[in-house]
């Protein structure tokens, strides 16, 4: 990593993505320059269809851009093979999706340790980390329950625990409160912000939820596939 | 990770118990049908061989070269006593009997008919053929030179009854003709015209004196410990006993129509297996694809968090394996039950006269695990392999597309 990229988790340059919906080209992202630095707790906001999810997917390497570049910790995604990218995501990015993102056939404990299994972490260490993270998300009594036996808020807390337990540099959360009531959303965001402050992990959200916006330290607005730099805010 | 994939795949299969059960039963029924067909064909083949060999032929026969083609009564077996001694010492042969065979005519007070004169050794014939068992009226041979056993149809045609006298006339080996009176001592019923209508059985000594072939033999019929041994064309027995212008042959050569029937049955069984396995294969692929499409979001999440393509393929293969295992267990139990039932009660197809042999016994399915194990094993293998295509499809999913499509 060169010094310019020090502390920069994600850098995008001229990022574009065009989909074809029944043969009709749809420009979801139309040339975004964006930088995310370590420790940020940033929300990308915008109305439905503004390209938030597409932008997050491009930054996480879940989708390939039509044009432009994405650098993850100084490495160009386009220079990585599929396997390298998959391994990079496994080791450096934690994901929280809208809902139903837990594996329904695995218990809370098994869901949380899944990524550590992929990483080849030993059983003892996996167990210790699971116990600790469950305490942090206040779900230590639910370790052996299946996701279907948890409330929506509890499920998202498990998702947060799963995303964080492998100690990634970056947590990407795509509308994490979309299916939660306002109190649960507030509690979840408070917990995530606390974890951000304690661990220094970088959080990047997409949302159109006021509760998330109020708790984010930085808010960037996406409109029609472009960043609205005039509306970028730093919140103390 | 592999252990966890086993766990996940098992739980995935059990997520939709009804579908798993239906798929498992479908596989199982297909497997049971295959096992039953195999057992039925095995039973049919065994019955055909046993009926053919038990009726008259034995499992093998020795003749003088040329005798069968020409029916020339001068073509007698060379060194019959030595062959008898060799057969006594042979571990494969459990019984043998000598015969004299000649064309002849049978004359009663009312009728005259062409017959095959069959001189048999009354002491050993019963160990090889069913003549003794088939003699259901009168008596089997006691050794009296006047005794004659004829089939019930011949008896009816000639208007002969037990105790009646008839004359057999035949050409002698060297020259001339000979006639001799015999008394009907027994009437037999083989179920085949060849023996019931066209053969007259007498003691071999009587036949020998009539044909001027005393001490000679035209045919030695042999019983093996296992008739199927005769299917081996490289059996040393054939070489050992095919010497000095004699020729030893097993039932597959003596009754090639039976061998052809068995071969045809095996081919049709193979075709049936290919069709059934093909159907099962497509059924599994369909079921797994449905399962994959239902879990697109999950596969998207799995890929997003770094699960390798190989792990996803393996997981789907394991799911196919579990389905195959369930189907194999259901099919094996079902198949075994059906096979055992029909092994006990048999399936009757009525009376069929095929190449001089009457097939009138019910076919009993034959449980031969040296063959039957192949079907559950093949089912398990094929159903697991059926997971390759859906597995690769799932493994190649683009995570963002998979999640977007399923939302």
Higher pLDDT, B70 or A185: B70
For the cut 70, the answer to whether the pLDDT of residue A1 exceeds it is no
- CA–CA separation, A221 vs B157, rounded Å? 111
CATH number of the domain residue A10 falls in: 3.40.50.300
Give B353-381 pLDDT, tens digit per residue: 666 666 778 889 988 888 788 899 999 99
Rounded average pLDDT over A74-78: 86
User: Mean pLDDT of all residues in chain B?
Assistant: 91
Minimal Cα–Cα distance from B1 to chain A, Å? 6
- What pTM value is reported for the model? 0.77
From chain A, pick out residues whose CB is under 8 angstroms from the CB of B398.
62-63
Q: What angle do CA A171, A224, A76 make, to 5 degrees?
A: 45
Q: Which of A98, A94, A114, A91 is nearest to A207 (CA)?
A: A98
> How far is C-alpha B160 from the geometric centre of its chain's CA atoms?
38
Cβ-contact B365, B356 below 8 angstroms: no
Q: Which residues pair with A7 in a beta bridge?
A: none
pLDDT of residue B166: 95
From chain B, pick out residues whose CB is under 8 angstroms from the CB of A120.
1
- Whole-Å CA distances, B281 to B23, B137, B277, B315, B384: 11, 58, 6, 18, 9
Residue B405 half-sphere exposure, CB side, CA atoms within 13 Å? Answer: 16
pLDDT of residue B57: 92
Sheet with A41-45, strands from edge to edge, namely A93-96, A170-174, A202-207, A41-45, A218-223, A226-234
Residue found by looking up tokens 């391994």 in the block: A87
Give A132-150 pLDDT, tens digit per residue: 999 888 898 999 999 999 9
The structural domain count of chain A equals 1
How crowded is residue A57: how many other Cβ atoms within 10 Å of its Cβ? 26
Cβ-contact A138, A172 below 8 angstroms: no
A207-211: long-range contacts, CB 8 A cutoff, minimum separation 24: A207/A43, A207/A44, A207/A45, A207/A52, A207/A175, A207/A176, A207/A177, A207/A178, A208/A45, A208/A46, A208/A47, A208/A48, A208/A52, A208/A175, A209/A175, A209/A177, A209/A178, A209/A185, A211/A177, A211/A182, A211/A185, A211/A186
Q: Which of residues 73-132 of A touch B (CB under 8 A)?
A: 82-83, 86-87, 89-91, 95, 97-98, 100-101, 103-106, 110, 114-115, 117-118, 120
Q: Which of A2, A6, A4 is nearest to A169 (CA)?
A: A6
What tokens were used for B271? 């075709």
pLDDT of residue A100: 57
pLDDT of residue B219: 97
Give A4-39 pLDDT, tens digit per residue: 555 889 999 999 999 888 888 889 999 999 999 999
Mutate to test the interface with B, among A49, A97, A99 (most CBs of B within 10 A): A97
Number of cross-chain residue pairs from A and B with Cβ atoms under 8 Å apart? 65
Give the H/E segment covering residue B27.
helix B17-52
- CA–CA separation, B100 vs B217, rounded Å? 5
- List, as one string, the DSSP characters of B181-237: EEEEEEEE--SSHHHHTSEEEEEHHHHHHHHT-TT--SEEEEEESSGGGGG-TT-HH
The residues, ordered by sequence, that sit 6+ positions from B386 with a Cβ below 8 Å of its Cβ are: B280, B281, B284, B285, B288, B320, B324
For A141, the domain range is: 3-234
Mark residue B148 as left, alpha or beta (left: phi above 0; alpha: psi -120 to 50; beta: remaining): beta
The residues, ordered by sequence, that sit 6+ positions from B254 with a Cβ below 8 Å of its Cβ are: B57, B60, B61
The list of chain B residues with pLDDT below 50 reads: 407
User: Mean pLDDT of all residues in chain A?
Assistant: 87
From chain B, pick out residues whose CB is under 8 angstroms from the CB of A54.
400
- CA–CA separation, B63 vs B50, rounded Å? 21
Q: Which residues pair with A43 in a beta bridge?
A: A205, A219
Q: Which of A62, A229, A169 is nearest to A53 (CA)?
A: A62
Residue found by looking up tokens 């990229």 in the block: A5
Residue found by looking up tokens 């805010």 in the block: A233
Provide the pairing of β-strand B177-188 with A226-234: unpaired
Minimal Cα–Cα distance from A236 to chain B, Å? 32
Give B75-120 pLDDT, tens digit per residue: 999 999 999 999 999 999 999 999 999 999 999 988 899 999 999 9
Q: Which residues of B touch A (CB under 8 A)?
A: 1, 4, 7-8, 11-12, 15, 297-298, 301-309, 311, 398-401, 403-404, 407
Domains of chain B: which residue ranges? Answer: 2-52+258-404, 58-251
pLDDT of residue B355: 63
pLDDT of residue B51: 83
Give the H/E segment covering residue B100.
strand B93-107
């Amino acid at each position: 990593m060169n010094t310019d990229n020090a502390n920069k988790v994600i850098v995008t340059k001229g990022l574009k993505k065009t989909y074809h919906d029944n043969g009709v080209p749809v420009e979801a992202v139309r040339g975004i320059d964006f930088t995310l630095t370590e420790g940020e707790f940033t929300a990308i906001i915008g109305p439905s269809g503004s390209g938030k999810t597409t932008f997050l997917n491009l930054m996480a390497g879940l989708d390939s851009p039509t044009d432009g570049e994405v650098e993850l910790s100084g490495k160009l995604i386009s220079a990585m093979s599929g396997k390298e990218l998959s391994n990079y995501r496994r080791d450096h990015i934690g994901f929280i999706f809208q809902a139903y993102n837990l594996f329904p056939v695995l218990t809370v404990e098994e869901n949380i340790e899944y990524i550590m299994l992929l990483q080849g972490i030993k059983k003892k260490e996996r167990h210790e980390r699971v116990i600790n993270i469950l305490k942090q998300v206040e779900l230590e009594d639910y370790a052996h329950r299946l996701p279907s036996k948890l409330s929506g808020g509890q499920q998202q807390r498990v998702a947060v625990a799963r995303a964080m337990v492998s100690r990634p540099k970056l947590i990407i959360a795509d509308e994490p409160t979309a299916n939660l009531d306002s109190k649960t959303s507030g509690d979840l965001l408070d917990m995530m912000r606390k974890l951000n402050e304690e661990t220094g992990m970088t959080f990047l959200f997409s949302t159109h939820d006021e509760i998330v916006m109020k708790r984010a330290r930085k808010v960037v607005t996406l409109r029609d596939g472009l960043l609205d730099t005039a509306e970028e805010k730093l919140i103390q | 990770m592999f252990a966890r994939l086993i766990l996940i795949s098992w739980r995935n299969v059990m997520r939709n118990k009804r579908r798993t059960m239906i798929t498992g039963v479908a596989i199982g029924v297909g497997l049971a049908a295959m096992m039953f067909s195999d057992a039925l064909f095995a039973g049919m083949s065994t019955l055909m061989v046993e009926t053919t060999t038990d009726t008259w032929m034995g499992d093998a026969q020795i003749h003088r070269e040329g005798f069968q083609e020409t029916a020339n009564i001068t073509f007698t077996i060379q060194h019959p006593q030595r062959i008898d001694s060799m057969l006594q010492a042979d571990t494969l042969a459990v019984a043998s009997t000598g015969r004299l065979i000649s064309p002849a005519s049978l004359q009663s007070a009312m009728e005259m008919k062409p017959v095959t004169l069959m001189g048999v050794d009354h002491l050993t014939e019963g160990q090889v053929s069913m003549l003794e068992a088939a003699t259901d009226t009168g008596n089997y041979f006691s050794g009296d030179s006047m005794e004659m056993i004829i089939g019930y149809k011949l008896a009816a045609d000639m208007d002969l009854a037990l105790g009646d006298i008839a004359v057999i006339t035949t050409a002698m080996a060297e020259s001339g003709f000979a006639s001799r009176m015999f008394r009907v001592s027994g009437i037999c019923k083989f179920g085949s015209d060849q023996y019931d209508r066209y053969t007259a059985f007498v003691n071999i000594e009587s036949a020998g004196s009539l044909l001027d072939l005393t001490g000679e033999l035209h045919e030695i019929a042999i019983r093996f410990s296992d008739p199927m041994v005769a299917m081996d064309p490289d059996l040393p027995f054939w070489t050992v006993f095919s010497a000095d212008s004699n020729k030893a042959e097993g039932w597959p050569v003596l009754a090639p129509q039976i061998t052809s029937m068995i071969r045809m049955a095996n081919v049709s069984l193979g075709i049936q297996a290919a069709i059934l396995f093909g159907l099962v294969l497509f059924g599994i692929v369909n079921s797994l694809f449905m399962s994959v499409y239902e879990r697109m979001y999950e596969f998207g999440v799995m890929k997003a968090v770094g699960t390798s393509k190989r792990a996803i393929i393996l997981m789907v293969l394991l799911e196919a394996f579990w389905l195959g295992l369930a189907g194999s267990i259901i099919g094996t139990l079902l198949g075994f039950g059906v096979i055992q039932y029909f092994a006990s009660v048999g399936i009757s197809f009525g009376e069929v006269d095929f190449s001089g042999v009457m097939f009138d016994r019910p076919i009993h399915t034959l449980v031969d695990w040296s063959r039957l194990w192949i079907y559950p094993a093949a089912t398990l293998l094929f159903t697991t392999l059926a997971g390759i295509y859906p597995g690769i499809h799932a493994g190649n999913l683009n995570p963002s597309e998979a999640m977007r499509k399923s939302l």
